[in-house]
Amino acid sequence: MKTESVKSIEVILKTAGIDETKLLIQQYESDERAGVQSLLDRFKRRIKKEEAELRRLDEMSLFEKGCLSRGEELIAGVDEVGRGPLAGPVVAAAVILPAGWAPRGINDSKKVSEKMRDKLYSQIMDNAISVSVSMISPPEIDRINIYQASKAAMVEAVEGLSVTPHHVLIDAMTIDINIAQTKIIKGDEKSISIAAASIVAKVTRDQYMKKLHEDYPQYGFAKNMGYGTAEHLQGLKEYGPTEEHRKSFAPVQAYSS
């Protein structure tokens, strides 16, 4: 055992699964070399973190498991982003994931770094059974109000799926669809499917706002995503609102002619 280098032991541990790693750690526990013991401690922490993540993902799959137990195999998660900004569309996404599929790190899009969101977005788009995105423009938001626009975007997203889901899990809303649905408060933290929709909607909207920044750099859209930051408000004060601004929102009204 002691003839193995610390580096070779590290390679072996890196390529092992959780259960195999546990057995290997027990196997190498008798190696008293400081480098080996430090290595084992590191992998023990990694296992603890991985097991905690698996428990979290299992808890986030409870609503999906409930649907599957009733024979509802196609489960769509639905969420929207962009209710609060002064500019840009409200965006909703509907996502149907394969049963039991849960990528590591998936969570409410607001709790995930931009780099991780982009990674998860790619994984979701590559693995999902169906993904649908809907945008409601600022003029339409002004016409029907942001709450109704959010609901309309969600309905359009569900209707745009390539297959009809058996059940729809929705973040904090009930929408007008002829499909069984469950409203889940803070659903983007409690449901894998809703979290996936949250990430797709967030990444889609952020990409839109970054593109919009190229046309209107004076508002700082690439950084504030349309929210009312000091830079954005200064831009409104100096240049007034664009067609991408929500004229019915008070801060925009203040700078409208």
CA gap 21, 7 in Å, rounded: 15
The annotation status of 215 as a binding-site residue, yes or no, is: no
The residue written with tokens 């983007």 in the block is 188
One-letter amino acid at 256 equals S
Query: Which residue reads 């950084």 in tokens?
Result: 223
Task: Give the C-alpha separation, 196 to 105, whole Å.
Answer: 11
188 is in an annotated binding site: no
Alpha helices, DSSP H, located in the chain: 6-14, 18-28, 34-59, 62-69, 114-127, 138-144, 146-159, 187-190, 192-215, 221-224, 230-239, 250-253
CA gap 35, 151 in Å, rounded: 57
Label the pairing between strands 90-96 and 75-81. antiparallel
Encode burial over 33-71: b for 16+ CB neighbours within 10 A, e otherwise. Answer: eeebeebbeebeeebeeeeeeeebbeebbebbeebbeee
Q: Are 240 and 252 in contact (CB under 8 A)?
A: no
Q: Is 171 annotated as a binding residue?
A: yes
Annotated binding site for a divalent metal cation: 79-80, 171
Annotated binding site: 79-80, 171
